[in-house]
Structure 1
């Protein structure tokens, strides 16, 4: 492939992402490493890693918030809360199935995510943030346990 053709492949990145992707996949399959758009491929791979981490963080935060609401507002429990708890456990399970190494990241961000979940739960419930303990009342194992639902606050 000429330099002009290589430049055309790089310009596809901005013009037609899917075509750029397919072109680079074909070049990789052909082992034509000289013509792939390495710079943008690396950028996309890094972005994929960030996206996976951000999705994990978001799912954990939502799950923790709903576990807090379930525990600290038992009189307002709804099937929707249970559904959300189940859904986000499934999402986390799917993440750990496809990317087991992200479990370490999950453990690293657990406490930070809990603090954010406290803020979200306080904002959504109208309860003071002090109603929710400063440390998670749930273990990592409980959070991921598909059969666990917290008991009332006492």
Structure 2
């Protein structure tokens, strides 16, 4: 029996490395049939942890894009375009969907807000040609404004 289990484990590991989708489907079948002894727990645990990291990375990325376009909107009003507004709308939609699916991400969003703003300033600088000093040191928008479909900043005075 030990040899059969070793062989099955080797097959599962190979399957994980060679056909990810089939590994997922096989793992789901094992879990549904309560065949816990043959579940490849190490890879399953890693995949679940990766899912959480991926959700957080995606949320940060979408927030950075929103903040960057809000900065461009505010600090380059003469260059405003429909593509900036479309991007703001699309990335707000993605953030809202992520928060709807996982409300616990809201506290994470609050934690990384300042970090995301700093990244958005760097990207806005690169895209606008404006100096870093052109942008406020701290985010001029509240998180609620950034995610509000109706909010667009006024021109900087």
TM-score bucket (shorter structure): over 0.9
Query: Post-superposition shift, 1:103?
Result: 0.6
| Counterpart among 119, 122, 129 of residue 119 in structure 1 | 122
Deviations 1:12-58 (A, max 9, x none): 00111111111110000000100011110011111111111100010
**Consecutive unaligned residues in structure 2, runs of 5 or more:** none
User: Residue 81 of structure 2 aligns with which residue?
Assistant: 78
TM-score scaled to structure 1, two decimals? 0.97
- For 1:8 and 1:88, the matched residues in 2 are separated by 41
Aligned length: 154
The question of 1:153 aligning with 2:153 is answered no
- For 1:5 and 1:68, the matched residues in 2 are separated by 55
User: Residue 9 of structure 2 aligns with which residue?
Assistant: 6
- For 1:127 and 1:31, the matched residues in 2 are separated by 59
User: Residue 26 of structure 1 aligns with which residue?
Assistant: 29
TM-score scaled to structure 2, two decimals? 0.96
Query: Post-superposition shift, 1:11?
Result: 1.5
Query: Post-superposition shift, 1:6?
Result: 2.9
Alpha-carbon RMSD: 1.0
